[in-house]
A and B are shown apart, each in its own frame.
Chain A
Amino acid sequence: MHIMWFTERAYHYLPEEEVLKRRSFFGVPNTFFDAQKGSQLLNQYLDEKIYSDELGFDGVMLNEHHGTPFCMGAVMDVEAAVLARATKRVRIVLLGNPIPTVANPLRLAEELAMIDMISGGRLVPGWVRGAGSEQLANNANPAYNREYFDEAHDLILAAWTRPGPFRWESKHFHFRFVNPWVLPLQKPHPPIWIPGLISPETVKWCAAHKYPYVALATMLKPTLEMWDLYTAEAAVHGYQAGPENFGYLQPIFVHETEEKADELGKNFLFGGGFANFARPEWMFPPGYNSKEATRRLASLYANPNLPGKTLVPQHLHSMNDIAAIKKAVYDNYESSKESLQIITGTPKSVIPKLRKVLEVLRPGIFSFWLDGPSPREDRLTCLKLLGTEVLPAVREIGKELGLADPFQIAPGSRPLAASGRPERVGSPEALAAI
């Protein structure tokens, strides 16, 4: 099992009201950014990653967002380059580079190759379409998002594997001389993992490419359904999916007492948490969604009572009552814990909860997610307890459940049963027992 941890590198010296009144982190004016504090925070986050290398984590996971205090890692590859040199063992897992927003995929291929070189072959790159707001922040035409994604992906892989120099002509990218001289250390290229919020289109695309799919803290039931979709598509492509094809990101807050862990857990909901990542007009820019996804959204809009829409009740969206919005956000805390969307406690109390998640999803890749405006010392305590007490226990559970990671079993290498029918990877029975 590959065990790593993740944090958005949030800028949280921000009045919570500024987010709540906009129902959005994206769009909060950058006049609230204090460069001194930002500098201190960015270094703190890097130090945490370096510390986790000493603690025995298998990987550190980074991501990228633009124009938002939700995540200061607007150029993740810069952080990855620092970590490539400053860490010794951990894999540097980038989930992921928003390739449709990168105007020059060749430049990205070169950056990543350099990171792989400097780290001694510890890079795991990943690709995302980028959130809707990313398209606006980078002025990347959302109507061509899928086309950019496919073409940039193909160009990066070609740059890494096809002997140069060669010419590249696709619908959107035109390069007359592709011949990068720094190529990745890992051959034929670094392993690629894809994170996501369980969009069926992406899940099927991953299965077709034999790329492990890492679900980002999604609800367990629909996540299991996506595992089934991946497994079915994998069978179409002639292989049996296994734990090595799946990963999961789990928000978790550990401290010496339950109360202290709850303090950290509640901070995760700062500003409404991910539910207030961005407003609909920024989350769904024109053409960003497929026709099918647009239809799903249309039915959501027509039926505000359907679940999974927003943490803040609809009737509060037109109100300026910050206190009421805040209460609605934090009222959600206990139910998030019950559904295991957030896990909190002491090392001893979180391990059985983690076991439940692992039994349901059976992922070969597992990432802890630590976030929220908690003090530096508390974050370090959480990280230390995760690394020294929780991680070894999770590793044992992984062994017991046979959760192989992509470095133990190459994704796509399991043979399909002679019948052609794939075996399910996750466990609905375990979910029913929760």
Chain B
Amino acid sequence: MAETSHKEETFRVGETELRVIKGGQGKPLLVFHGELGFPGWLQWLDVLARKRTIWIPLHPGFGKTPMASWIMNMRDLGAFYARFIREQKLAPVDVIGFSLGGWLAAEMAIANSAQFSKMVLVGATGLRPPSGEIMDMFTRTARGYLNASVIDSRNNPEFAKLFGGEQTPEQFEAWEDARAETARIAWAPYMYTQSMPELLANVAGLPTLILWGKQDPVVPLSAGELYHQKIAGSKLVTFDNCGHMPEVEKPADFIKAIESFLG
């Protein structure tokens, strides 16, 4: 399948030159990438870009967008993006957040749910799982973390396309940037906001879809169930035989779930 054309644009947010990958056509769809940065243009983006203009901002400090030293926690990062959404007149916008990007979306929805029209959380961090724990990326190499986050890293063509082969110096540097910025905002408590279960009451009324790999080794499904329980009216869809990356491990089911939710 031919990849939809997409390009990088720069938007000024305060003092920061925010790099955004944009592609497709139609109503905007905001995508928040996870803790190791934007992995690359995937199949599901191709499908959605037929009807939607995809906006994928590259978080400050993750390499392309320079680090903003004042951003020290998820609330700060959420406020940064709230300003971006306001200044670009995107609100209310549909948002999809992956892993740490899901935490970011949830944190923003708590602060102001009206900036979003619909929200999708995919294997989102942000809550302390009632059972199990979030896999620690900081005691692993980036490559080791990625390999451990899916059910079968060896027999997945899309995973191999993104992360296979010899690690290049550029890839190493990009991952190190991502790990460093994630440490700045999520070192301890690791990857969650302690008050999140109480604060999620503020998300009521925002149509929310929660997507989770049943065997997610990074963020246990119990966290997905807690999101579902705390966000009134939310819908939880799980994928069997799937880890932390349903967009890569179960692309067809993933696309179906998203399309039927976003309409």
Residues on A close to B: CB < 8 A?
136, 139, 141-144, 280-282, 284-287, 289, 294-295, 297-299, 301-302
Tell me, in angstroms, the Cα distance from A85 to B108 when the chains sit together.
57
Instruction: Say whether, besides A298-B173, A301-B167, A136 and B179 are in contact (CB < 8 Å).
Output: no
Q: Which B residue sits closest to A301, measured CB to CB?
A: B172
Specify which chain A residues have a CB less than 8 angstroms from the CB of B141 in the assembled complex. Answer: 280-281
12 contacts between A and B (CB under 8 A): A136-B138, A136-B139, A139-B187, A143-B181, A281-B141, A284-B176, A286-B182, A286-B183, A294-B177, A298-B169, A301-B169, A302-B169
Q: Is the interface of B mostly helix, strand, loop or mixed?
A: helix
For the complex, what is the distance from the CA of A299 to the CA of B167, rounded to whole Å? 11
Check if B1 is an interface residue, CB within 8 A of chain A.
Answer: no
In the assembly, what is the distance between CA of A284 and CA of B175, in Å? 12
Nearest-CB residue, chain A, relative to B170: A298
Q: Give chain B interface residues in 165-223, CB to chain A under 8 Å.
A: 167-170, 172-173, 176-177, 179-184, 187-188
Q: Which residues of A contact B140 (CB under 8 A)?
A: 281
Name the B residues within 8 Å of A297 (CB-CB).
Answer: 172, 176
- Contact, CB under 8 Å: A141 / B173: no
Q: How far is the CB of A96 from chain B (nearest CB, A)?
A: 23
**Chain A: minimal CB distance from B192 (Å):** 15
Known: A141-B187, A286-B183. 15 other contacts (CB 8 A): A139-B187, A141-B184, A143-B181, A143-B183, A144-B184, A281-B140, A281-B141, A286-B179, A286-B180, A287-B179, A287-B180, A294-B173, A295-B169, A301-B169, A302-B169
Q: Tell me if B144 is interfacial: C-beta within 8 Å of chain A.
A: yes
The residue on B at minimum CB distance from A299 is B169
> Measured between C-beta atoms, what is the minimum distance from A268 to chain B in Å?
29
Residue of A nearest to B168 (CB): A302
Nearest 5 Cβ contacts at the A-B interface: A287-B180, A286-B179, A298-B169, A143-B183, A286-B183
CA distance A142 to B173 in the complex (A): 16
Q: Are A142 and B169 in contact (CB under 8 A)?
A: no
- Interface of A, secondary structure class, is helix
Q: Is the CB of A141 within 8 A of B169?
A: no
Q: Determine if A286 and B138 form an interchain contact, defined as CB atoms under 8 angstroms apart.
A: yes
Q: Are A143 and B169 in contact (CB under 8 A)?
A: no
A22 to B3, CA, bound (A): 43
Shortest A145–chain B CB gap in Å is 10
Residues of A within 8 A of B182 (CB): 286
Q: In this complex, which of A142, A286, A299, A302 has the most chain B Cβ atoms within 10 angstroms of its Cβ? A: A286
Q: Which residues of B contact A139 (CB under 8 A)?
A: 187-188
Which residue, of B173, B183, B188, has the highest number of chain A Cβ atoms within 10 A? Answer: B183
Chain B residue nearest to A141 (CB atoms) is: B187
Closest A residue by C-beta to B137: A286
Q: How far is the CA of A134 from the CA of B144 in the complex (A)?
A: 21
CB contact under 8 A between A141 and B176, given known A302-B168, A302-B169: no
Closest to A147 in B: B69
Q: A78–B141 Cα gap in the complex (Å)? A: 34
Docked pose: A378 CA to B238 CA in angstroms: 65
Shortest distance from the beta carbon of B2 to any chain A beta carbon, whole Å: 32
Cα A329 to Cα B173 with chains together (Å) = 30
Inter-chain contacts of A136 with B (CB < 8 A): 138-139
User: CA separation between A302 and B171, bound complex, in Å?
Assistant: 11
With known contacts A141-B187, A143-B180, A143-B187, A285–B169 Cβ distance under 8 A: no
A141 B179 Cβ-Cβ under 8 A:
no
Which residues of A have CB within 8 Å of B180?
A: 143, 286-287
Which residues of B lie under 8 Å from residue A144 when comparing CB positions?
Answer: 184
Interface centre among B176, B179, B184, B188 (most CB of A within 10 A): B176
- For A280, the chain B residues whose CB sits under 8 A away are 141
* CB nearest neighbor in A for B169: A298
Contact A298 B172 (CB under 8 A): yes
- Which of A287, A295, A299 is in CB contact (< 8 Å) with B183? A287
Q: Please give, as numbers and ranges, the residues of chain B lying within 8 Å of A281 by CB-CB distance.
A: 139-141, 144
Q: Knowing A141-B184, A143-B187 are in contact, say whether A282-B173 is a contact too (CB < 8 A).
A: no
Which residue on B lies nearest to A293, using beta carbons? B176
Contacts of B168 in A (CB 8 A): 302
Q: Which residues of B sit under 8 angstroms from A301, Cβ to Cβ?
A: 167, 169, 172
Question: A240 → chain B, closest Cβ, in Å?
Answer: 36
Q: A136-B138, A281-B140, A301-B167 are in contact. Are A141 and B172 (CB under 8 A)?
A: no
**Residues of chain A lying within 8 A (CB to CB) of residue B183:** 141-143, 285-287
Chain A residues whose C-beta falls within 8 Å of the C-beta of B184 in the assembled complex: 141, 143-144, 287
Residues of chain A within 8 A (CB-CB) of B144 are 281
Nearest CB of A to B21, in Å: 22
- Give the chain A neighbours of B172 by CB distance below 8 A: 294, 297-298, 301-302
Residues on the B chain within 8 Å of A141, using CB: 183-184, 187-188
**CB-defined contacts of A298 to chain B, threshold 8 Å:** 169-170, 172-173, 176
Bound CA span A301–B170, Å: 11
Bound form: Cα–Cα A142–B176 in Å: 12
Instruction: Give the distance to chain A from B263, nearest Cβ to Cβ, in Å.
Output: 39
A295 to B176, CA, bound (A): 10
Bound Cα distance from A142 to B183, whole angstroms: 7
Q: Which residues of A contact B169 (CB under 8 A)?
A: 295, 298-299, 301-302
* A286 x B176 contact (CB < 8 A): yes
B177 neighbours in A (Cβ, 8 Å): 294
Most chain-B Cβ atoms within 10 A of its Cβ — which of A289, A299, A302? A302
Query: Is the beta-carbon distance between A282 and B179 smaller than 8 angstroms?
Result: no
Residue of B nearest to A27 (CB): B139
CA distance A289 to B181 in the complex (A): 12
| Interface pair B187/A282, CB less than 8 Å apart | no
In the bound complex, what is the Cα–Cα distance between A285 and B176 (angstroms)?
Answer: 9
Shortest C-beta distance, B141 to chain A (Å), equals 5
A50 to chain B, nearest CB (A): 39
**B170 partner residues in chain A, CB cutoff 8 A:** 298
Asked if A295 and B173 sit within 8 Å, CB to CB, the answer is: yes
CB-nearest residue of chain A to B179: A286
Q: How far is the CB of B161 from chain A (nearest CB, A)?
A: 20
